[in-house]
Structure formats: C-alpha cells, structure tokens
Amino acid sequence: MPLAGKRILLGVTGGIAAYKTPALVRLLRAEGADVAVVLSRSAAQFVTATTLQAVSNRPVRTDLFDAAAEAAMGHIELARWADLVLIAPATAHCLMRLAQGAADDLLSTLCLATTSPIAVAPAMNNRMWLHPATVRNVARLRADGVIVLGPASGEQACGEVGPGRMLEPDEIVRAVDGLLTPGPLTGIKAMVTAGPTREPLDPVRYISNHSSGKQGYAMAAALAAAGAQVTLVSGPVSLTPPAGVDVVSVTTACEMLDAVMARIAEQTLFVGVAAVADYRPARAAPQKMKKRSGAVRAVELVENPDIVAAVAATKGKRLVVGFAAETEDTIANARDKLVRKGLDLIAVNDVSDRTIGFEGEHNAVTLVTEDGCEHIARTSKHEIARAITDRIASMLAARGDFEIPSAR
C-alpha cells in the first residue's frame, strides 16, 4: 500500500468529469490513503456529497461558512492536515482562480493556506484548454509550483476530439504515488527529448524519420515515477503526455535546440531520446513545389545542430544520456559517440532488427559507458525506460560531489 498513512485533500470542481471522482477516491483508499473531499457548489450538480462521503468514509466539506466546522477554524485545520491537495477535475474557472490567488470559497482558501504540494488534473473542452487565457493561467500555476497532471487527448463529452480530457483515475493515482512516495530521483530536474523532427521542403512536404516517440515518452514517464521533475521536449507525435510531465512541443531540429538550451541551465539530468534529423533543406520553398514529368530536382541539405553534444559541451556536473539507433557495428559506433560527444551513458539499439525500435512497442538496448556495456534484452519500451532510470539513479548516487536539490 504505497500511500499508507498519506492524507489527501481532494477538491472536486464542476465539470462532467466529476462523475469519475468516486472511483478515484476508492482507488486512493485502496492504496492506503486517507481522503477528505471538498466539493465545490457547481460540482454538486455532477456528483453528490452523499456518494463521496460513502466512498471516503469522511464528511464532505462544501462551504467555507460551515458554522460547526469553522468554530475551530476548520479550513486552516484541513490545510495543515493534508499531505497533498489534489483537485480533480480542475475546470478552466478553477485554474483561473488559483492563478489569481482567489480565496472566496473553501477550496481556494485551502489552497492558499496549505504549505503542502498542490496538484491539479484539468478537465475542459479542448478549445478552452488551448485558449490563451488558460495557457497563461497554467503557466502561472506551474511557475508557482502547482503540479499539472495531464490533460489527456481524446473524445470529449461535447463530441469534439482534442486535449482536455481529465486523466483516468488509475493514471491520477499513479501520479500521486510518485508525488508522495519518494523515489530515487526525488528533487532531480530532468529534461527528455522525444520523437522525430520535421524539416520542411515546402509548405506541404518535409524530411523526417520513423520515430514514434514511444521510447522517449516512456523515458519521461519512468523518470517522473522515480520522483524527477520532468520537462519533455517533444517533436510531432500522436501520444498522450505522461502524467505530471511538463511538455514543450516543437517541430524542427532548430526549434528543439532552442527549447532545450532555454531550459537546460536548471536541469540536473538530460536524456536525449529524440531522433533528430541530421540534415535539413538549405532553403524551404515558399510555395508547394510542383511535379514536372521527367524533371530531376536537386535539394541542397545543410547539417542540423547536434543537440545532445551541445548540452554535453556545457554540462558541468549534469548527467547527459544519449540514445543511438544503428544498423551495423552497433557497439563500436556507440562507443565512438560516447567519447566524441562527451556523454556519460548511451543507449544503443540495432534498428535493422524489425522486431524492436521505432514504431513498435518493444525494444532491446545496450547501455554503454566508459566502464563497459550492459545489454537489456527485448522487452517493452516502458521496461527499458525503467531499467535505464535505475541505472541513471545508481550513477547519480555514486557521485559523491553531486548535490540533489531537496524536494518541495
């Protein structure tokens, strides 16, 4: 029971996803957590206090001006009681009020009065999630230390499809486990790059590769589960970001480099999983290039920046991990890259083996360091990521001069 003895204050705000909160409470309690529920006025239109009281085995609080509870300053007592304040679902309105520091109802007052971590699981229409006002509010909350879980992308209650779905209860519980159960990387700030890059030929066509981003996303999830604060810089993929991971979306190699270098100074760990295009067209045509029968068209290519080498060049005490996809002389090529780029660890796979790598669900890698090699046999990409995370944790622990920032 990983959450045994942990006290979670669950705030429920008024979105259709509130119907999932009884299941969320049950799962949290099954993990050993003690759960107290605060229900907003609008949330009561979607789920009842009676239901939540039954599954939590605790009275549900709904009103800041509850005379019986507030006789002993109940909202302050609740704020100090919680090991974690979790708001699920968190509506656009809720995010706005938290970002502004409002304190005009019980839940917002608790959030201002607590010194415990606050996590929110957003749920709203995709256009609301992508609106500039919501983007600003979420950025403000992240800057204030609020942990944002999701949202997922998919079909919504309104019939539209896109980002804004609340994470499923089991996904939220896994994220809470990571937040409240200290892992070997608790306090570490980690950056992961994932997916392909696309280098435009014209407004329609581009140069890219077969990377699906699955190994990079699995790596980000494994690091987060180990307690790291993860920033995922992702090329264009069709994957749902891992819970609790901050995602920066890019398209080209130059955009990825800019995103990485703008944030790398505060990172303890960098893991470059992205399949960055080695070359890009010297000039992208401003209009679609028309096909002409029998014509031969030459495209001049220029070299893209080497992102992992750029990070390693200024790493200091930072641990830098690279990935390599090879088709021949796998270990020799990996050793060459390790030394030439100044990496601490490189994970290499043989993509000539069609049963692993790229768009598949499985992989097999060899971890290469200056001290030797360790092979990880074919297994799921998530298991590969967990094994690499364990190796990273042991490498960090072995550095006597390595300072791990304290967790919040």
Bridge partners of 271, per DSSP, are 192, 321
* CB-based burial, 187-207: b 16+ in 10 Å, e otherwise: bbbbbbbbbbbbbbbeeeebb
Instruction: Give all strands (DSSP E) within 79-228, no chain letters.
Output: 84-90, 118-122, 147-148, 152-155, 161-165, 189-194, 199-200, 206-207
How many residues appear in the chain? Answer: 408
3-class secondary-structure state, position 210: coil
Residue 114, class by beta-carbon neighbours within 10 Å (0-12 exposed, 13-18 middle, 19+ buried)?
Answer: buried
Residue 158 is a catalytic residue: yes
Distance, CA of 211 to chain centre: 19
* Nearest C-alpha neighbor of 23 from the set 2, 45, 1, 54: 54
What is each CA distance from 355 to 57, 209, 381, 385, in whole angstroms? 49, 17, 12, 17
Choosing from 94, 111, 158, 254, the catalytic residue is 158
Residue 308, class by beta-carbon neighbours within 10 Å (0-12 exposed, 13-18 middle, 19+ buried)?
Answer: buried
Bridge partners of 246, per DSSP, are 231
Question: Which amino acids are annotated catalytic?
Answer: 158
